[in-house]
Amino acid sequence: MISRYSLPEMAELWSDQARYSTWAEVEVLASAAQARLGRVPEEALADIRRARVPAAARVAELERERDHEILAFLAAFCEDVPDDSARWVHLGMTSYDLVDTALGHTLARACDVLLAAVERLRGVLVDKAFEHWETVCIGRTHGMHAEPTTFGHKLAGFAFAIDRCVRRLRAAREEVAVGTISGSVGTYALIDPFVEEYVCAELGLGVEPAPSQVVARDRHAQLLQAIATLGACAEQIATEVRLLSRSEVREVEEGRTARYQGSSAMPHKRNPTTSERLAGLARLLRGYAGTVLENVALWHERDLAHSSVERVALPDALIVAHYQAVSTADLVAAMEVSADRMRAAIDQTRGLAHSSAVLADLLESGTERERAYRAVQAAANGVLAGGGDFSTLLRAEGIDIDPLRPERFLVHHDVVFKRLEALREMGR
């Protein structure tokens, strides 16, 4: 992923040097397990432990000669190990015993970094929801004025969506945090299962229960689908900010510094560029999820068609998702909310936002439904045609009901408030 959409705490996990460091850790642990079984001499294990992680440039140099990254890594690693000890490195293992076990460890760490960012986003949304719990605004359906709600209620919906993302990511982390050290075609023919158990336990990983030489790729597909869903939920938040930032609405605005410049040609512009960026990144995440699904069906015990895909899709998806989660939290924390314009939007309906309450009153008083609906609709159409306010036109239809009684709205609003309080306590 390009540096523009990368944050160091996630991007560093996916560097070539970080990968080789994890590979070296797996090889040392595997040799330690073999030593416990009496298959690797203790003197050789000591030499292997002392070996330095090879430089990425050296591995790349050797790979150009051998056209095999794992063999190039092993050759570079063993340059720092005496010959008598180097022969014990990678004993009984196949390439993807190393690659997939290391990948499981990296994915687990990456998920932890992402989860911390998503949990922060959830917390920011909860805090902002409480801050604006009583900030009344117009609800919109189909993009049209509907009934009053509050901005805090709207943000609460987003907070619960992100909470579901947290739970999906935790489940996906458990599925990808696995390894396998089972040898060619996964039969343990040349390696004791103790090696796998030992290495995976030391790395905090589970074990692939029936390995085929590789870890099953449906695990990675599950993770990237959870990430794509997270991206879509972040996009939903960003889209709401974009819609409420429009010039004719201006109920919400992205937080800006005093030095902000929105357009090279039009100095008056205050564009929701952060929200637009977050919405765009969600498209990438959906694309990565579809791509990794293609990796699930490998030929027989394994093929290598998945490798090139994963080298791009896994790091890019996690880096982008992390950037998006952090940026969405920053967006919500800094956004400016205009309670006055929100209230004005309700007032601009001239009472129409309360048409359903009038209809409910008529039905409760015994008026036949079709007659009640048509009478209220006729008054509403008169307002839209510029004929006056809703109360006046209701009376012209023979309806003597005040549509503006505030006690009719948000009567059971507190039930969502209590659920939000429970979410806040759970996140602490």
Q: Are residues 37 and 162 in the same domain?
A: no
> 266-276 burial, b if ≥16 CB within 10 A, otherwise e?
eeeeeebebbe
Residue 148 bridge partners (DSSP): 138
CB atoms within 10 A of CB 384: 10
pLDDT, residue 389, reads 87
Q: Are residues 303 and 391 in the same domain?
A: no
pLDDT, residue 203, reads 98
Give, in order, the Cα–Cα distances in Å from 3 to each of 289, 320, 321: 21, 10, 14
Domain boundary among 58, 91, 124: 91
Q: Are residues 33 and 107 in the same domain?
A: no
pLDDT per residue over 139-172, tens digit each? 999 999 999 999 999 999 999 999 999 999 999 9
Residue positions counted in the chain: 428
Which residues are identified as catalytic? 142, 263
Q: Are residues 113 and 131 in the same domain?
A: yes
- Which residues span the domain enclosing 280? 94-347+411-428
> Residues of the chain whose pLDDT is less than 70?
404-411
Phi, psi of 156 (to 5 degrees): -60, -40
Indicate the number of domains in the chain: 3
Domain boundary among 68, 91, 114: 91
Phi, psi of 148 (to 5 degrees): -65, 145
Q: Are residues 273 and 180 in the same domain?
A: yes
Quote the pTM value.
0.94
Q: Are residues 161 and 268 in the same domain?
A: yes
* Packing angle of the helix pair 414-427, 151-176 (nearest 10 deg): 40
Q: Which of 339, 284, 313 has its CA nearest to residue 136?
A: 339
CATH number, domain of 242, equals 1.20.200.10
Q: Are residues 239 and 388 in the same domain?
A: no
Q: Are residues 65 and 118 in the same domain?
A: no
Q: Are residues 84 and 111 in the same domain?
A: no
Structure token digits, residue 116: 């911390």
Tokens 């794509």, residue? 228
Average pLDDT, the chain: 93
CB atoms within 10 A of CB 311: 13
Q: Are residues 85 and 98 in the same domain?
A: no
pLDDT, residue 409, reads 66
Q: Are residues 113 and 144 in the same domain?
A: yes
CATH number, domain of 67, equals 1.10.275.10
**CB within 8 Å of 157: residues ≥ 6 apart:** none
pLDDT, residue 263, reads 72
Q: Are residues 72 and 143 in the same domain?
A: no
pLDDT, residue 250, reads 95
Domain boundary among 46, 74, 91: 91
H or E element in which residue 415 lies: helix 414-427
